[in-house]
Amino acid sequence: MYSSLKTAEITTLSTRLSYYSRSTPPHLIGGAWEVRVEKGAEAEVSQNQTFLVYTKCDKAVNAVVMLFRALAGSACTLIGAATVLKLAPVEVQAQAAALLHSAVRKSSLVEQANMRIELLPALSDNYMYLLIDTDSREAAIVDPVEPIKVVEAVRKHGVKLTTILTTHHHWDHASGNEKMVKLMPGLKVYGGDDRVDALTKKVSHSHNFKLGSLSVKCLFTPCHTTGHICYYVTKENSTEPPAVFTGDTLFVAGCGKFFEGTAEQMYKALIEILGRLPPETRVYCGHEYTVSNLKFARHVEPDNEVIQKKLAWAKEKCSNGEATIPSTLADEFTFNPFMRVKEKSVQDHVKQTDPIETMRSLRKEKDGFRVPKE
């Protein structure tokens, strides 16, 4: 009797878990630990084999151990994993569930005549983006936090990866840069902050460069971090929609926390910079936060039917492991409260009349908002 989990998949799980041990801040995972493959045939592994060896350090590790042993012990079914996960300590169930979720989220491909963009799920809710110029077959990767997955995608598409586009320095966006340049020497690493790992090209607002026949414009959007950059991608004389990679500045139906900035800066980023791009511009953000963001949007504007419909759609997509990305800037102005700070319905909710003060109040409320379970 054999499990359906291939050796390659075991290695992938082990790599992901090992990655967390190196890169996740201790307060998030609870201590250093490691995972390695001990046994496994080239084709399949026996269902009763213990093929993962764990170095136990704390309760967080116990939860992950239980989760992935369940994958092996229950013919690698997600139901078996979920069953055992219930036995994990309450304080770490969310972390272990996030690891499981990251293993089942699906990649997707957005194809246009001028560019192709593959959405590569990473970690628990991040996205990396492989941007391909269809004319030259030259490619860039946005925030490659899981380098092995990136290399596999590059090989699958048969493209030449030349560039890393880093939106900001946070570990869940930039910590894969060092490994990427080791795996694929000669990569140019763009970013707007000296804290970006392996940085070779520091950019500022309106800096332009080419990726094959595509034009990339850097948009300086400080607030979430002081050096945050969004990347706006177009092609001359194309009728196809442009793309903008917004990192943790703009999310579908939300925006990033003001870790290193102010409401004034986020207003400028969302309304005066991103908001002035063509309305058909497709938005590729850094995280899959759409459902929780829309629940907050519904709280702000309970009578907004666009939000209600978008939330139902997003729930369905997420339940199938599918991305809710991209959206468009035109769409964001219909359901994103942080893009709607000039709307009376949003201002009335926070009892403000000034858009910047509305932005400030919304972010404060969102930071303390408890997403309802449904």
Q: Could you list the active site residues?
A: 168, 170, 172-173, 224, 248, 287
Strands 35-37 and 115-122: unpaired
Strands 115-122 and 108-111: antiparallel
Other Cβ atoms less than 10 A from the Cβ of 132: the count is 26
Both structure tokens of 35? 């995972």
Q: Are 170 and 196 in contact (CB under 8 A)?
A: no
Q: Rounded CA gap, 343 and 199, in Å?
A: 40
Q: Rounded CA gap, 243 and 121, in Å?
A: 18
Strands, E assignment, 123-242: 126-133, 138-142, 160-165, 188-191, 201-202, 208-211, 214-220, 229-234
Of 126, 171, 241, 165, which is closest to residue 24 (Cα–Cα)?
171
Both structure tokens of 262? 């102010």
Is the C-alpha dihedral spanning 335, 220, 353, 370 positive or negative?
positive
Of 7, 3, 2, which is closest to residue 43 (Cα–Cα)?
7
Q: Are 128 and 149 in contact (CB under 8 A)?
A: yes
Q: Rounded CA gap, 278 and 160, in Å?
A: 29
Three-state DSSP at 341 gives coil
